[in-house]
Structure 1
Amino acid sequence: MENTLIDKTFRDSNGKIVLGEIPNPPLILWIVASLLTLVFTTGKINTLLDILANGALFTWAWLELFQGVNYFRRALGLGVLIGLIAYQLQ
């Protein structure tokens, strides 16, 4: 198989095209914590859940950026990381 830019962008080390994967623990934690912030809308629990959700999403984006299986996944991690930081700076 040729090692073209398209291959590097969308294929993993086994040659399979990878756009999405089963969510890993940080992503699952972000989903659960984000949903719980809709239930606990005020107070210290909401603040804790918000911090937990942002930390989990940051961790997921960081892992994708540096350990993603292809360039697409790494770019996705970078985009989420930039978006998360921009959102927090508002």
Structure 2
Amino acid sequence: MALSENLYIVSGRHVDWGSHQFTTKVWLSDSVTKMFTELKTLPSGGDTSYPGLVIEGDNLYVSYYSSHIDNEARVYMGHLTGVEALTN
């Protein structure tokens, strides 16, 4: 999701190789510096992935699935605020 010419919000599955834990995370990506800055780890675990992102004003909405509650994959919705401050 483009915030500007060089800044993007991206999301996906993250693997902690030390613990072999899977989570869904949201990052800020800068295409000039090639840096990723973690913004949020969403409540997630087990079978988790395929986030969809929508920005509306200062809000980021993230839909994703996860099986962290009872090993059954369910769809969740995350809401983050402060998107506009990321471009300043």
TM-score for the superposition, normalised by structure 2: 0.23
Higher RCO, 1 vs 2 (CA within 8 Å, ≥6 residues apart): 1
TM-score for the superposition, normalised by structure 1: 0.23
Q: Quick check: which one's strand share is greater?
A: 2
